[in-house]
Amino acid sequence: MKHRLCIFLSLCCLLVMAGCRRIVLPEEGGQSQSDEVNYNSNAPVVNRDDEGSSDDTGDVVGAFRGYETLREYLEVYGSVDKPIPMEDVLPGGCLYQVIMQNGNISGIENCWVEGYVVGYINGTTWKKAVIGITDAVPSNIVLAAKPDEADMARCFPVQLSQASVDQRNMREALNLKDNPDMLGKLVCLAGVLSYYMHTLGLTQVYDGYYDDGNPEDNPQPDDPEPVNPDPDDPTPDNPDPEPDTPTGPYHGYDTPSAYITAFSQSYDTPAPFEDFLAGGCVYEDIVTKKNGKKWGGRSLWVKGFIVGVATMDNDELNGIFEGNWTGVNGYKHDANILLAPTADTKDIRQCIPIELPNKSDVRRNLNLYSHPSNQGREVAVKGVVSEYFWTVGIKNTSKYHFFDTSE
């Protein structure tokens, strides 16, 4: 099942020098030696979300998985839906070649990369990589293409910075010193693909999720027919007892982890909608008690009717429940939707804001700006439970399912 490591985009600072741009990592009280970032300051930055970028990466020609240019490759790979494969950023991979050998770019922003957590680096170079969790440091982790990788030369360093709230939260959720159970997890992380630890790495990580196997993708065989211990007695005296009904504080479950596990299996078994509204167990834990970190990193299903979009008005959450979904100065309201328990709900207090990640199939197919006919449709979405628009919402939405046939 996929588990999202919360938090959304932290804006990177861009410094213009000598006609070129390089990424400058914001510092907060200084940066430790193991957090050192090494950038090629003589090369431009590629921004995946900038359709009209003036950076001339279109001239970079090579074997980019069959694509002739880096720009064409990034139109397909590097999004939350289709992250960059680990082999592409390791020695011999197409991105490793262009960044490390050709020196054409110093960073690819808003880039998603997928790999297994196998260790960390205790120093400022990849040669100091340590496989495992012994004496782990909080400032970085290393990824690999397989969970049992033992060759540190086949590892990919990931910076866990403290430069912003989003990056700090990712550091708290990912680092092996505080989270040894992350070892071996398949993670998908968003940040800046750039020169780091004297090799190619991922810096300024602000978002991500991890995967420990999805029962939807790995169906189990049917249980075998039970064998009656006594052929003459069709009803055994001691049948298996009924499973205990959960009685914990999270809709019967003892922990947020158990709650998420229960409601992450299928769109047919979503989390109860009322748990996300004021007074519900999820709302109270995240908004009232500020225990959001306990929920970070894992995703679940929630179901409701699409009724509008969320906006902020004087630092308060508001909803647009009718109109053409075009805001001031032609702004497109396509970045989120509101779910409600009924199709005719117009009370923002009865709604859950759902983030639609940029350049994802979720945004392309659910947003009301492009698909106004989606209003009133019942849908289930899967994403990370977190504070969103100062209330409880779903961020980093990765899956959806409509319950009608009008698609």
| Residues 168, 159, 130: CA angle, nearest 5 degrees | 120
Contacts of 345 (CB under 8 A, 6+ apart): 305, 307, 351
Count of C-beta atoms within a 10 Å radius of residue 222: 6
| Cα–Cα dist 133/139, whole Å | 13
State the average pLDDT over residues 136-157.
94
> Considering only CA atoms, which of 194, 23, 38, 205 is closest in space to residue 125?
38
Domain range annotation of the chain: 2-211, 265-402
pLDDT, position 19 = 27
| Cα–Cα dist 401/407, whole Å | 11
Q: Given pLDDT bands bounded at 50, 70 and 90, which one contains residue 316? A: confident
Q: Given pLDDT bands bounded at 50, 70 and 90, which one contains residue 16? A: very low
Look up tokens 């279109």; give the residue.
Answer: 58
| Cα–Cα dist 106/102, whole Å | 11
Question: Is the predicted pLDDT of residue 116 greater than 90, yes or no?
Answer: yes
Phi and psi torsions of 387, nearest 5°: -75, 130
What six digits make up the tokens of 392? 């409880």
pLDDT, position 102 = 64
| Cα–Cα dist 56/54, whole Å | 6
> Considering only CA atoms, which of 206, 208, 400 is closest in space to residue 298?
208
Q: What is the pLDDT of residues 300-312, one digit of tens each?
A: 999 999 999 999 8
State the average pLDDT over residues 61-84.
81
N- to C-terminal Cα separation, the chain: 26
Q: What is the pLDDT of residues 147-205, one digit of tens each?
A: 999 898 899 999 999 988 788 888 988 999 999 999 999 999 989 988 899 889 999 99
As a residue count, the chain comes to: 407
Domain 265-402: top CATH class: mainly beta
| Cα–Cα dist 381/366, whole Å | 10
| Cα–Cα dist 105/44, whole Å | 5
Contact 103, 43 (CB under 8 A): yes
Q: What is the pLDDT of residues 332-379, one digit of tens each?
A: 889 999 999 999 999 999 999 999 988 888 999 999 999 999 999 999
